[in-house]
Amino acid sequence: MVNHQILLSTLLENGISGTARQWFESYLSEDRSFKVSWRGEDGSESHAETPVSETSGDGTAYHTCVNTVLKVLGGLLVVLCVSSCWVGITQVVQLTFKSFSCPFFITWFSTNWNILFFPLYYSGHVATTREKQTPIQKFRECSRLFGEDGMSLKVFLKRTAPFSILWTLTNYLYLLALRKLTATDVSALYCCHKAFVFLLSWIVLKDRFMGVRIVAAIMAITGIVMMAYADGFHGDSFMGVALAVGSASTSALYKVLFKMFLGSANLGEAAHFFSTMGFFNLIFISCVPLILYFTRVEHWGSLSSLPWGYLCGVAGLWLVFNILVNVGVVLTYPILISIGTLLSVPGNAAIDVLKHEVIFSVVRLAATCIICLGFLLLLLPEEWDTVTLRFLTTLADKKTEEHGEELTESSVHTRSRSRANGAVSIPMA
């Protein structure tokens, strides 16, 4: 029989073109190791070689594996940075309170730094992309988060005001709680915001019901009650627990409303939104620190006496934390960002024990562990039960196949040994 590859190669070299040439080329492509060359109409020599699918598949798998590893490593780095920033914010705030106990002024001053978010984002955009846009063009492009019409005074007040108020309340209540409780207790209680987000999303947004998240929410509430019970339902401890839970509640409401009215946002839109909130805080909320100053609720004296080092440290760490959270969601897995917030609890606990010599009671430790465990349960994906059952089924099938192969090998070995001993197998009628 004539070799088809040699025959088709000869035909192609003799000037076959057009439809026949395409048909022969597709035919020859079935043999991955066969290379065809022909001379075209213009006299130039062309080569038709089918890429090896196995090689390309291995290369694609390799690149996918490398990208996944880099994404995970980057995510772990972001986790460490996020947890370090949150621990730093909590600890520096407590140091600031020793000489400057004005939580609302600290909140207002730190929120003003959010104005820098969009300029920093635009600087990164200019440094990393070839298509350069002016700041105004980029600002208008990112304004689509507020609607197709972009930013206007009405939209600015309507969309920004509620989120700015919730943002200020969240941070202000968190700082007030730090005046009553240790950093470990406040950071643990703040982790309850994840449970509140689930409850509000289930009730308001009609998200999918998940039994494990209901259990996690119950665990969070149990931890709150135990934390309040640790020193009795009275005094500064109970008030601190109430303030920390209030901070977690306003944070959850902020996130649910953001998802309801604004949906998801990319990095540029998030930078635009944070800078807009910073402007709103500077323009409309600046009157509140002045009122507190003149009413002697928060009297800070002269500007030269303020601990500017601590204040700038808190504001800078808060800005870096917000940037890391939004950049981390884009570059890595969002679940790792949540784990970074959770890791602030053991981080603050280590500093409280080693530096401040805080002694935790058994009830407080148990409450902290219950809240953290509930937080981890809330991180389970929605399809975790289906994926788990599928994995267990696959594992059981593999064990069954291995057991069947072992039985087959055993029977074959037994028959061969029987033949060696002269035994004859007689089939049953």
> Who contacts 298 (Cβ-Cβ below 8 Å, separation ≥6)?
102, 103, 104, 105, 289, 292
Q: Which of 63, 2, 56, 7 is nearest to 32 (CA)?
A: 56
Domain ranges of the chain: 4-49, 64-126+154-381
Class of residue 266 by CB neighbours under 10 A (exposed 0-12, middle 13-18, buried 19+): middle
Residues making up the chain, counted from first to last? 429
242: phi then psi, degrees, rounded to nearest 5:
-60, -40
**Pick from 127-136, 243-252, 315-324, 415-424: least confident:** 415-424
Note if the pTM is more than 0.85.
no
Q: Which residues are bridge partners to 36 per DSSP?
A: 48
Average model confidence (pLDDT) across the chain: 79
pLDDT in tens, 208-235: 778 888 899 999 999 998 988 877 666 6
326: Cβ contacts below 8 Å, ≥ 6 apart: 267, 270, 271, 274
Please give the full DSSP string across 372-418, using - where no structure is assigned.
HHHHHHHTS-TTHHHHHHHHHHHHHHHHHHHHHHHHHHHHHHHHHHH
Among 16-25, 68-77, 80-89, 251-260, name the one with the lowest average pLDDT: 16-25
Q: Which of 80, 60, 25 is nearest to 343 (CA)?
A: 80
Quote the pLDDT of residue 367.
92
| Token pair recorded at residue 224 | 């709150």
